Each structure stands twice: as structure tokens, then as C-alpha cells.
Amino acid sequence: MNIINEVRKYFKTAKFQELHFQTKIQEYVCKIQQIFSLFLVVFFVINIIIVSSISFFTLKQLNKASWISLLQLFLCIGAYILFSTYLKTHKKYILPMSYLNIFQVLFLFEVQYFLYDEYMSFAVIMGITIVSSLTIIGHIGKYSSIVLIISVIDIAISCYKKPNEINSYVMNLYILDNLFIMMIAISTNFYTNCLKYKQFEDEEKLIYLSEKDGLTGLCNRKALENAVNNSALENTISAFIILDLDNFKTLNDTFGHGVGDDCLREVGDKLKRIFREVDCVSRLGGDEFVIFISDVKNTDWVMKRTKTMIENIPKTYTKNKDSITVTCSIGVAFCEEKGNDLYEKLYQSADMAMYHSKKNGKNCVFCFNDLQSQIKQKNI
């Protein structure tokens, strides 16, 4: 009963998992297909040498099926090169090419069996079929279709070659062997998929925990740096917003850290509502928050968001006769230049703008570009 429930759960979530872990699946399949192709290259080289040698010394002639093995060898070399070079940068073709690679390998074994059955071992075909089940992560129906087609072809060839044995015990046993191997291959592929999806989920949870602030649930410094470094590869304008709470230390000292923590969580919730899910909203520590926007289409949109922050974040805390109003000072920096030190440049610029906001009465926004203009005017 547990197995049936697991199968139902798998088919229910398979499509979501394929989309959610698409990049990881592509990278894993690309790597495992390289190994699979390299394994087959070694196998065919050894097979050609050994089988040809045995055939020559025992039958005094070369193995007639060697030309198919050579064809398979060259196709596997081509597949290895393809997965090692082109498909690493064209990931959307990885899964289709993987299914095609598995099919051509198994199909050519069947061609060899059809033309030269005396040189082809059933154990070899079935062994490669089972090994192929470990080389693909995807919807189980696609791999099952390939294995089913190959099994039908294999049975059809056997019936064609031995028409007098179609209803015999030996043929029925052969058909059962094919079905049994097919079930093993599909089950192995299913189990491999489940294991890899579980591994991807566990890795994602670890990444989530390592890149989240424990108090607010926002991104932490590590996640912020990763977001900035990833954007450095793109030719877009970036925005870096630093928010520092005014009077937060006084709030902590007067009302205690519990109230201070509640304030930080509330600010974090407000920031998540103001900005989009694709924007990196983070807390670096203390009362310092940073919002990083990697692809700025309109700088006015960013400045409107900062004004919304100024309007929504202020809150007054009252206890007995004590009353403290927490506001925020904001610094903004835009950058179109990219480089390895993008994070440091943006942080320093936005931090300078934020401190300028504090010096000018707090609870206001200042942009680094405006600050540069004022400095130039003073120098003039």
C-alpha cells in the first residue's frame, strides 16, 4: 500500500518537480550522459577487440557484426563530445538529446541482433538497458516508452527469426524475460528519479536556511552578495537601497529587545509587500536592511518605492510615559557598470547616501547621484 501511495505521490508532483528543478536536472543529466557515453566508448572498444580476436582465431574470419559496433562507437564518441561542449550552454536540448541517445544505443543493439544474432548476447542488451535507466531524470513515461518500444522490437525480431517457436515454452519464457527486464529498467528509473528529486529538495532547503535571516525571514548578507554577483554578468542597470531605522537603539534600550525584534519583523513584512518577489529584500544585521533590484527598467519606479517606504515604515511605540517614533533613513545607488567588485561599489555608494539622509534630519531618501551633484556644486 505504501508503494502505491509513493507512486501516486510521484506522478502528482513529477511535473512540478521537473519545472522547479529544471536547471539541476539538466546539469545532472548532462553530466551522467557524458559518463554513460564514455562507458559505452570503452565497452565498444573492448568488445570489438575481444570479439574480433575470438572470431578470427576460432572461425578464421573477422566478426561480421563489427561494422555496427564501430558505428555505435563513433556515435557514442559524438554523444560524449556533444554533451561535453555544445549542450553545456544549450541546456534546453539536454533532455531531448538524452532520450535520443538512449534510444539510438538500444535500437542499434537490436539492429545487430536482427542482422547477426549469433554475435549478439541477450545479456548485453538487457544490461545496457538497465544501465540506461540510471542516466536520465525526467517524466517516467518518456523513458518507459523507449524501453517498451525496444522490448517490442526485440520480441518481434525473435518471432520473425523463429516462427516455428512462437507458441513454444522457450519463446514464452523469452517474452517473459523481456517484460521482466523492462519492469526492472522502469522501476530503477523511477527509483532514481525519486532519489534525485529528494536530493534536490534537501539541497534547496539547506540553501534556503543558509541564505535566510532567522529573525525576519528575509535574505541575509550571503544571499544578497550572491544576487549582486549574479547580476554582474548581465548588462542591466542595478539599484541598491540601504534602509537604516532611526531611533531603533533607543527603542531597544527603553522597551527591550522583544519589542525591537517585533519592530524588525514588522519592517521586514512591509518591505516584502512594497517590493516584488524577484527583488532581493535582505537584512544585513541590526536595523540595517538592503533591497537589491538587478534589472531596473525605470529609475522613477525605484524612487517611488522608497517614498512608499518613508510613508509606511514610521511607527510610534508607547509604554507608560515613554513614547518613541521609529522612522527610516534611506540611501539609493544606481549602477550600470559591472565587475567583480560590484557589491562593494554599490554598498559604499548607497551607504554614503543613507548617512547623508541621517545628517539631513532623518526620515528621508537620498540618491547617490544627487549627492555627487551636490559635492560637485560645493567644489565649484
Residue whose C-alpha cell reads 525605484 in the numeric block: 302
pLDDT of residue 89: 85
> Which of 264, 252, 232 is CA-nearest to residue 339?
232
CA–CA separation, 284 and 129 (whole Å): 52
287 is catalytic: yes
| Residue 88, SS3 per DSSP | helix
pLDDT of residue 166: 84
Helix (H) or strand (E) holding 42: helix 22-59
> Which of 125, 115, 122 is CA-nearest to residue 64?
115
CA–CA separation, 241 and 224 (whole Å): 12
For the chain, 380 residues long, give each residue's pLDDT as a single digit of tens.
Answer: 555 565 555 555 555 566 567 888 899 999 999 999 999 999 999 988 888 888 777 766 667 778 888 999 999 999 999 999 999 888 889 999 999 999 999 999 999 888 887 667 788 888 999 999 999 988 888 999 999 999 999 999 989 888 888 888 888 998 999 999 999 999 999 999 989 988 888 887 887 777 888 899 899 998 899 888 887 666 778 899 999 999 999 999 999 999 999 999 999 999 999 999 889 999 998 999 999 998 888 889 999 999 999 999 999 999 888 899 999 999 999 987 776 788 888 999 999 999 999 998 899 999 987 655 554 444 43
pLDDT of residue 313: 93
pTM higher than 0.75 for the full model?
no
Angle of the 66-84 helix axis to the 94-115 helix axis, nearest 10: 170
Q: Quick one: CA torsion of 157, 159, 162, 166, rounded to 10 degrees?
A: 160
> Which of 236, 231, 244, 241 is CA-nearest to residue 368?
241
For residue 285, the cross-strand partners are 288
Angle of the 299-312 helix axis to the 257-274 helix axis, nearest 10: 150
pLDDT of residue 234: 67
Which residues, including other chains, have CB under 8 Å from residue 226's CB and lie 6 or more apart? 211
pLDDT of residue 379: 41
CA–CA separation, 93 and 83 (whole Å): 10
- Active-site entry in 287, 322, 341, 351: 287
pLDDT of residue 124: 85
pLDDT of residue 377: 42
